[in-house]
Amino acid sequence: MNKTIFKSTGAVVAGFFTVAILSIATDFVLESLGILPPQTNPGAYVTWMLAFALFYRSIYTIVGGYVTAKVAPQNPMRHIYVLMILGGLGGVAGAINGWNLGNHWYPVSLAITGPLFVWLGGKLKICN
């Protein structure tokens, strides 16, 4: 098997895990400090909490796109497009799964903005 395939897969995985780990770690810290309620109690989230979560997750998504473009062995935008598709599918699945929890704007916003912010992160790296 070609080593470039492994490097390409690694670039997309690195961007994905960058977003996931930063998001989970921030959620954990904010929940530990009592700023956000536990995720097991989604009804306790009010609009400002969700807006704040959308804000920092958007930044992390830009960083994830940047990381993917940075470690891509070649054609960084092709890797960005793959991450955009995977993130978009995950966002749609999350929106469908969390629809009954209320605050429909939050999961829909994540699903829509996620691919756009991945693209922005990739473009920032390429233009850098």
Average pLDDT of the chain, as a whole number? 93
Mean pLDDT of the 87-101 span: 88
Range of the domain at 69: 3-127
Number of domains in the chain: 1
Q: Residue 42: how many CA atoms within 13 Å on its side-chain side?
A: 10
Q: What is the pLDDT of residue 42?
A: 75
What is the pTM assigned to this prediction? 0.92
SS3 1: coil
1 has a pLDDT exceeding 80? no
Task: Tell me how far the alpha carbon of residue 63 is from its chain's centroid.
Answer: 9
Give the orientation angle of helix 47-71 with respect to helix 3-32, to 10 degrees: 160
